[in-house]
């Protein structure tokens, strides 16, 4: 794997893996549930690492980077299943946020 992986390549890699190893995609609603589960697992790690909650012994083998990758994996699956090009969508989203929030955060006294 290269460190210069694009979103488009990641979507293709997931699709190839699903078709050659994973047999088929789970249904969209199943994957949505799995995404929520994976976000919960990431949340658990983050709350224990950066929040006030103490860790449990069962949490010691959990890695934040692996949990983030799990979230990304399922999101890539959902994008493939629903015909979303995440590269295009990301660029449009950045443009939207840049126009909408050009001064919003600079003028937020809570961020000063």
> What string of DSSP letters covers 41-65?
HHHHHHHHHHSSPPP-GGGTT--HH
C-alpha atoms less than 13 angstroms from C-alpha of 14 in its C-beta half-sphere: 22
Domain span including residue 42: 7-87
For the chain, how many structural domains are there in total?
A: 1
- Asked whether residue 103 is assigned to any structural domain, the reply reads no
- Asked whether residue 99 is assigned to any structural domain, the reply reads no
- Asked whether residue 48 is assigned to any structural domain, the reply reads yes
Domain of residue 44, CATH code: 1.10.287.1080
Tens-place pLDDT, residues 3-44? 799 999 999 999 999 999 999 999 999 999 999 999 999 999
- Asked whether residue 98 is assigned to any structural domain, the reply reads no
Tens-place pLDDT, residues 39-70? 999 999 999 999 998 888 777 778 999 999 99
**Whole-number Å distance between alpha carbons of 5 and 63:** 21
- Asked whether residue 101 is assigned to any structural domain, the reply reads no
pLDDT of residue 112: 84
User: What is the pTM for the complete model shown?
Assistant: 0.87
């Amino acid at each position: 794997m290269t460190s210069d992986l694009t979103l488009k390549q990641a979507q293709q890699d997931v699709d190839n893996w699903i078709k050659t190893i994973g047999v088929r995609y789970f249904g969209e609603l199943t994957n949505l549930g799995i995404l929520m589960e994976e976000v919960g697992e990431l949340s658990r790690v983050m709350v224990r690492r950066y929040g006030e909650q103490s860790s449990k012994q069962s949490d010691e083998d959990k890695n934040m980077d692996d949990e983030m990758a799990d979230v990304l994996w399922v999101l890539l699956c959902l994008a493939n299943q629903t015909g979303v090009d995440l590269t295009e969508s990301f660029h449009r989203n950045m443009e939207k946020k840049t126009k909408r929030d050009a001064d919003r955060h600079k003028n937020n006294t809570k961020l000063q």
